[in-house]
């Protein structure tokens, strides 16, 4: 179980690090990058929430399903580790999601202000900013 959590956290950190890589880009590439980063953050947040919920459910089940009055310590430790892993994944996913959404919004507004033609639709009307 500990090895599984270690592998899961290392994959999470490497995916979120790749989503935040810096390079020189134009507005269209920047928006695509932040859209991918937003999707990565959303997936990490949802997976972390589901992992936290599953760990919480298993923790509850380990205390409520005993028949002889003893709580199996191994199940309690695994459930607790699963909840901690869920919190850790969410702690990575939420900031990635937030930063990506804010940066995408700022780039979109800046592109609209300078009339960047990469965002124009087929009929020539540019993007619309919603507040």
8 Å CB contact between 67 and 61: no
Assess whether pLDDT exceeds 70 at residue 23.
no
Which one is predicted more confidently, 47 or 27? 47
Instruction: Give the integer Cα–Cα distance in Å for 2 and 40.
Output: 24
Q: How many CB atoms lie within 10 A of CB 118?
A: 12
Could you tell me what percent of the chain has a pLDDT over 70?
74
Give residue for tokens 């800046």: 110
Model pLDDT, residue 45:
93
pLDDT tens readout for residues 73-111: 888 888 899 999 999 999 999 999 999 999 888 887 777
Instruction: Give the integer Cα–Cα distance in Å for 86 and 108.
Output: 32
Model pLDDT, residue 24:
43
């Amino acid at each position: 179980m500990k090895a599984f959590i270690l592998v899961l956290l290392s994959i999470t950190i490497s995916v979120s690090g790749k989503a935040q890589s810096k390079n020189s880009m134009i507005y269209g590439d920047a928006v695509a990058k932040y859209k991918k980063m937003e999707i990565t953050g959303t997936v990490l947040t949802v997976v972390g929430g589901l992992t936290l919920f599953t760990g919480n459910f298993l923790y509850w089940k380990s205390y409520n399903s005993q028949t002889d009055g003893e709580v199996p310590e191994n199940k309690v430790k695994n459930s607790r580790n699963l909840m901690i892993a869920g919190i850790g994944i969410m702690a990575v996913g939420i900031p990635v999601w937030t930063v990506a959404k804010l940066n995408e919004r700022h780039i979109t507004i800046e592109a609209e202000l300078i009339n960047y033609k990469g965002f124009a639709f087929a009929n020539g009307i540019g993007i619309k900013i919603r507040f």
